[in-house]
Each structure stands twice: as structure tokens, then as C-alpha cells.
Amino acid sequence: MTTKQKLLQKCNEYVDKRIADYKNEIQLIKESIASNDQGNSEDDDAGNGKLFNDLEKNMEHLNDATKTKEHLKQIKTNIDSTDAMLGSIVKTNIMNFYISTSIGKIEIDDDTYFAISLNSPIGQLLKNKCEKDVFEFNQKKYLITEVI
């Protein structure tokens, strides 16, 4: 398995876990609401209001995670490009980036990569850059040593 495939797999595992966690939380909240409805007293209305807010928030998070999953499906690990784009590994003199989704640090084969979104501030700086390009982020100068 290539490094790109391993990185994409890690991203998918992360998003799949988030989706499963949100679905589980939504189910627990629905069960709590149903349980409160059976006891139906006026004191439970405030509790149900909080539960409904929690349910709504978790459904929004689930929707976002599902969109991220769809976004990751667009990444093709077999495409080589000299310009940084979705699915690229960008190695610099300071750190390595994987342009995919914002999940942060990933360790693969004794190397560290930072999974970032193309829409993030640093993702926007990396977009369409190639080997030997220089960019500045957080008052640090980065030299791109390789785009895979």
C-alpha cells in the first residue's frame, strides 16, 4: 500500500468513527427523549428542550461528517501531479502535509503528516504550488521539497 493510500485510509477511518459516534449519540438522545415522554411531567420539558438541542447539534455534526466522507471519495491515490491539489502529499523543509480534510497529525511509516483541508488557510497557500516554491505561514518560511 502506498503512503497516499495509507493516509487516505487513516482519514476515512477517522471520519467513519466520527459518523458512528454521532449516530450512537443521536440514538441515545432519542431514547432519552422517548423515556422522558413516557414519564411526561412538566419538569421534564426543560430536560427535553436540552435533549432536542443536543439532538440537533449531533445531527448537524453527522451531516458535516457525511459530507467529509463524500469529499474524501473524490481523492484519487493513483494520480501524480507536480502541483499541490486534493490528494497531494506536500513535503516541506518544516513539515509534511496531506491535502484531504482537516484532521491533523497522522503518523505513517515513521513519518508525520498533517492532514489539512484545501479550504484551510494553509491549504489555500499550498494550492497549485510545486517543488521549490516558497510560502509563508504563521511567520515561518516553508520551502516545498516534494509534491507527490
pLDDT profile of the chain (148 residues), mean per 10 = 96 98 97 80 67 96 97 92 95 97 95 97 96 96 97
pLDDT value of position 37 = 73
Q: Say what the pLDDT of residue 70 is.
A: 97
Residue 87: closest CA among 116, 109, 108? 116
User: Taking a C-beta distance cutoff of 8 angstroms, is the pair 67, 61 a contact?
Assistant: no
pTM: 0.88
Q: What's residue 42's pLDDT?
A: 54
Domain ranges across the chain: 3-73, 89-147
Looking at residue 79, what is its pLDDT?
A: 86
Q: What's the pLDDT at 143?
A: 98
pLDDT at 35: 87
| Model pLDDT, residue 1 | 93
Whether the Cβ atoms of residue 13 and residue 6 lie closer than 8 Å to each other: no
Helices (H), the chain: 3-39, 44-73, 121-126
Other C-beta atoms lying within 10 Å of the C-beta of residue 107: 9
Question: CA of 147: how far to CAs of 56, 80, 129, 144, in Å?
Answer: 41, 9, 9, 7
What pLDDT sits at residue 24? Answer: 98
List the beta bridge partners of residue 116: 99
